[in-house]
Structure formats: structure tokens, C-alpha cells
Chains A and B, each alone.
Chain A
Amino acid sequence: MRQRSLIAITAALTAGALTLTACGSRDDKDKESAEGGGTTVVIGVDAPLTGDLSALGLGIRNSVELAIKQANAKKYVDGINFKMEAADDQGQPSSGQTNATKFVANKQLLGAVGPLNSSVGESMQKVFDDAKLVQVSPANTNPAMTQGPDWNGGKKVRPYKAYFRTATTDAIQGPFAAQYLYNTAKKKKVFVIDDKKTYGAGLAATFKDEFTKLGGKVAGTEHVNPDTKDFGAVATKIKNSDADVVYYGGEYPAAGPLSKQMKKAGAKIPLAGGDGIYSADYIKLAGKDGKGDYATSVGQPVEQLPSAKEFIANYKKAGYKEAYEAYGGYSYDSAWAIIEAVKKVVEDNDGELPSDARAKIVDAMQDVSFDGVTGKVSFDEYGDATNKQLTVYQVKDTTDPAKGWKPVKSGTYTG
């Protein structure tokens, strides 16, 4: 009997030890896979999931999905199970508006993240605002979207109460690029090109305004069709000008080939642009002559933010095959801002969603404040992010496009 007891005790202890050893990892797994019950709240995400801009769009979608999965795993809002509904706008305003209408029709959908393009965002704002459905863009940078058409010099008026964004605006991005190119890179004559779209034309205008105020000269201006990939005529004009830098207001599908063709034509000067060209795909398209080109992008480099470490690790762990790209951290924070607003509304209503949840979530969003991937997340009276940081990047290496952009200067707006 004594021997049998000893064997039993040993077995029990060993089993116990093994169980304890395994506990941590199993708990984590259970948490990750937890779906939870309760009320379903859908968060929509609209971005270009196909087409030329899909690299940025898929990074947005994946990052929103990651935020939703983590909120569910943590059971962050008691009694609420979040789900994502993704819609592809292909970078087209008409598609964006159709998607916005579809989101509004889904009664379970209480907030939307997106879109990437300012022109697409403009087509969605009224649809969402009429339905009192909150929209948080991680990437729209056109100042007029939050401050009205007279933002520059006139009176700032917020056009839509339901619209928020986590990205810094072109009111800062363009001038910051101008300051860097004029003062630091010592560029004095610029050839300014834009794609005639809301984002590109607006960004080029804010750049040009500051560059000339600093004393810089404009060697030429051009407008191009971003759907055309043949920039031979413009490349020749650039070569024949005495510009020492080109500034392009637009996105990488056109900027990459433009950089390549102008250098091939003999204009061995750098191309600079905004967050629309800050992508590994730009380096792929521009080729080895893209080395030395510049881009500004919203925020501090995500890799430098301690708050982003966990996001980067979780994104990697989730196994997404597409990179989180320029807007991953901002997309995660946009989705989390909606989750925070839902949490506030549910808690203020005895743990249940009120019948007018959408309107209450819009109100709650104004007071949201949390430490996100990109730093402190909160919104000012216009719906703009209060955390206004941005960075100048330069292409330092073209052999591995994913690692080619390197930060050369970061700024914080404290005005």
C-alpha cells in the first residue's frame, strides 16, 4: 500500500508540474481564439484592397482585423463581440461611396475605418454623417476634410461631426517637406507636379507655398494623369529645367515610374513626395535610380515607438503576408478608437448598447483618449489627431525595397 501511495503521489506531482508548465501557453492560445458571445458589433474597413494601391490598403485592413481580434481575445468590452466587414474601394470615390452606403445599411455596423485616399474619403463623409455613423481615417491628409475649404487663411469650420482621423494633415506635411528640402537638403529650385486629385493637388500646393516663402524658386509645374505610366514628355521638361529637385503630389503607382523615367531622360535629381509614395512598392517601381528620393509620412517611425513594439510583434505573429505599411499603426489605432468609444457607450448604458448607439458613439469618440500604437490617441475640435508627428524618409537602398526607406528627420507639431 505504501509503495502504491508513493507511486500515485509521484505521478500526481509530475502531472501537476507538467500541467503548470504548459499553463501559460495554453491560456494564451485560448485567449487568442476566444470568440465570446454577446452582442455583435461590426466595424467596417474601407480601403483599396485590389489595384495599384492595394499594398497600402491591405496593410490597413490587416491592422484593423488585428485590433478586433485582440479586443475579442481580451473581452475588452464586456458582452460585445466585434466583427470586421471589409470593403474594397479600389481607390475610386464612387466605389467608396457605394461601400459607405452598404455600411450604413448594416445595423450591426457601428463604426468604419478608412479610407486611404482623401478623394475617396470626401465621397463618404456625408453618407456617414447623415447616418450619424462614426468614421475614422488612418490616412486622409487633406486639411479641408476636417477644417473646411477655407482652412488656409480663412475661417476653419468642421464640416462633418462624424468624421475623425488619426493621420497628420497636409497642412503640416507639405511645409515640413519644404523646410527639409530647402534648409537641410539645400534644394533651391523645384519642379512641382501633381495628379490633379484632392490629395495630390492639395499636398503639392502646401509644399509649393512654403518652399517659395522660404526663398525657393519654382522651375516648373505640371499636372499629370495618374493612370498614365508614360511620363516621357514631363521627364524631358524636367531635364530641360534647372530644377534641383522634383516634388510630386500623388501616389506611388505614378511617382515610381515618373522617378525612373526622369532619371533615364537625364534629370539626375531626387524626387520627393508625401505619404502617398512612402511604400516599398515605390522603390520597386522607381528601380535603382530611386536611391536618394524622399518621402514624408505621418507619424514618427513606428519602429521607434515603444508603444508599437507589441503591435509589430502581434502583426508578425498573426502571419499576414502583406506588410502593415505606412498606415498599419494608424489603422490599428483608428479601430481601437472605435472600440474605446463603443466601450464607453456600453458602460454608460448599464452594459448594453443603447438604441441610438451610433449617435452616442460619435459623441464618445470626441473624448476618446488612450495610449495607442502611434502614441497618445485623441482628437481636437475638428476631429483631427492631437498627436501631430511626421517624418522625412529617404531611399537609401534599393536591393531590398521593404527596407529601403530610412528616416532622416522627424518633427512634432506643438502649435
Chain B
Amino acid sequence: MNAVGPVEPGENTYAQEAAAHEAAAPEPAPPARRGTRHRRTAIAAATAVALGAAGLGLYLTRPEPPPEPPPPWPSQSVSVTYTGEMSRPRAGERDFTFAVTFTQASGPPVTVRQVAQPSASLSVRTSPGPPFTVKTGTPRKLIITMHIRECGEVPRNAGLPFLEVTLRNARANERQSYILGPEYANDLSAALSAACPRTRVS
């Protein structure tokens, strides 16, 4: 039989193998595999933290939609113009009427809360009576009745008479003087002079 059977370890066989192992593998394998696992875990955790931080940063600095701008102050969107149609009172009459138009250029509705005038010798009432609303794109005509309280004190020749209008919207409550211009001044002067002539008619 020339067959080669398993070689039985001889003397020093295990000792030589152990020495050879020692020379070939200076560090034991199992501890080396544990260190790699730790590093991977640490890197994964760091990655997650960094990604989280980046995400949070992006979230915190995300562009926010601009806030809704507040409506303009009511006096900046509402205009009052003299429409004319001033009646001519007779001497001694105490009331006369004229028309104005409220228009709003833009923005949410504005409520007209009061219409007045500055002279103590006059008073006004309006139709429609306040409060009423003015909306963008829908001019509102107002008939004003001027009442003479005291003829002797009326501003019969004022160059720049105006109406005092109290307006309110979501932004503010505001009192604004609307100076209606020379045509209003002339018509008002004529009406007051007609109602209160210098030679008093009683």
C-alpha cells in the first residue's frame, strides 16, 4: 500500500503550529472585528446627528411666506370729492344741500362713522346717515344738509373750507379733514351769503 494516510501529529507538532500562528497574526482576530463595529456605529450616529442638524437648520431657516400686509390707514385709501349740486337757500332759510362722493382706491371696506364741518355756526346731517361702508370700486354718493345755527358767525368767505370725516377700518380709527377745493368754497360762500345777507331778513 502506497496510500498516504492521515499524518499523525508527531512530537512538537502543536508547539510549532502555535509559534507559526504567533508570527503570522500578531493581534488576535476577534478583538479586531469588535473595533470596526464600534467605529461604524459612531460614524452612523454622527451622520444621523449631522443630517438631523442640517435638516433642523434648513427647517429653521426655511423661507416663510411674507405676512399679510396690514390695510392702509383709511385716509390713505378713501377720497372725498365735491360733486356739486349745492342748493341756493333764500334769505332767512337755514338749510341747504349739496353732494359729495366717497371713493376707495384699494383695500378692505372702510366705515364712515361721522361727517362734520369745523365751524361752530354750522352743523351737518347726511343721507345716508353714518355709519355706512365704502368699498373699493363702488363710489358712494352722499347728500349733505348744511344747517345754519348762527347767521352772524358763518364763514361766508372761507377760502379753504373742509369736511371733517371720521373713518374706520381694520387698521385704525382716523379723523381726516377733506378740503374740497375752490368750487366747494365758492358754492358754500354763495349759499351762506344768500341765506345770511348782510342786511338781515328776519
Contact = CB atoms under 8 A, between A and B. Distances in A.
A300 interface: yes
B139 interface: no
Contacts of B70: 306
B56 to A, nearest CB: 9
A384 to B, nearest CB: 13
Interface string B149-162: 00001010111111
Given A3-B43, A179-B160, A210-B158, A415 B183 contact: yes
A306 B72 contact: yes
Contact of B43 (A6, A184, A209, A414): A6
A128 B179 CA distance: 33
A402 interface: no
Interface string B69-89: 110110110011110000000
Most buried by A among B40, B44, B75, B160: B160
Contacts, number: 115
A89 to B, nearest CB: 31
A409 B75 CA distance: 12
A375 B179 contact: no
Nearest to A392: B177
A305 B184 CA distance: 28
B10 to A, nearest CB: 46
B160 A175 contact: yes
B57 interface: yes
A399 interface: no
Given A304-B73, A411-B162, A412-B79, A213 B179 contact: no
A370 interface: no
Contacts of A209: 159
Contacts of A388: 179
A176 B118 CA distance: 11
A204 interface: no
B51 A414 contact: no
A20 B178 CA distance: 51
Contacts of A184: 118
A414 B180 contact: yes
Contact of B176 (A13, A175, A176, A411): A411
B155 A214 contact: yes
Most buried by B among A18, A215, A300: A215
Q: Which size bracket describes the interface of A in this complex? A: 35 or more
Interface in A204-226: 209-210, 213-215
B39 interface: yes
B54 A14 contact: yes
Nearest to A415: B181
Contact of B181 (A13, A179, A410, A413): A413
Nearest to B103: A414
Given A215-B153, A306-B69, A412 B176 contact: yes
Instruction: Give chain B's interface secondary structure class.
Output: mixed
A101 B177 CA distance: 42
Nearest to A183: B118
A215 B46 CA distance: 86
B182 interface: yes
Contacts of B158: 179, 210, 213-214
B61 interface: yes
A6 B58 CA distance: 20
Nearest to A152: B159
B119 A411 contact: no
A226 to B, nearest CB: 27
Nearest to B40: A3
B47 interface: yes
Contacts of A14: 50, 53-54
Nearest to A16: B54
Contacts of B69: 306
Contact of A183 (B40, B61, B119): B119
A150 to B, nearest CB: 15
A18 B179 contact: no
Given A18-B57, A21-B57, A215-B153, A414 B81 contact: yes
Given A7-B43, A183-B118, A306-B70, A411 B179 contact: yes
B179 A176 contact: yes
B120 interface: yes
Contacts of B159: 175, 209-210, 213
Interface of A: 3, 6-7, 9-11, 13-14, 16-18, 20-21, 24, 172, 175-176, 178-179, 183-184, 209-210, 213-215, 300, 304-306, 375, 388, 409-415
Interface of B: 39-40, 43-44, 46-47, 50-51, 53-55, 57-58, 60-61, 63, 69-70, 72-73, 75-76, 79-82, 118-120, 153, 155, 157-162, 175-184
Given A3-B39, A175-B159, A179-B160, 13 more contacts: A10-B51, A11-B50, A17-B55, A17-B58, A172-B160, A176-B160, A210-B160, A213-B155, A300-B76, A409-B177, A412-B176, A413-B181, A415-B180
18 contacts: A6-B44, A10-B51, A17-B57, A21-B61, A172-B179, A175-B159, A179-B160, A179-B177, A210-B160, A213-B155, A300-B73, A304-B73, A411-B162, A411-B177, A411-B179, A412-B177, A414-B82, A414-B180
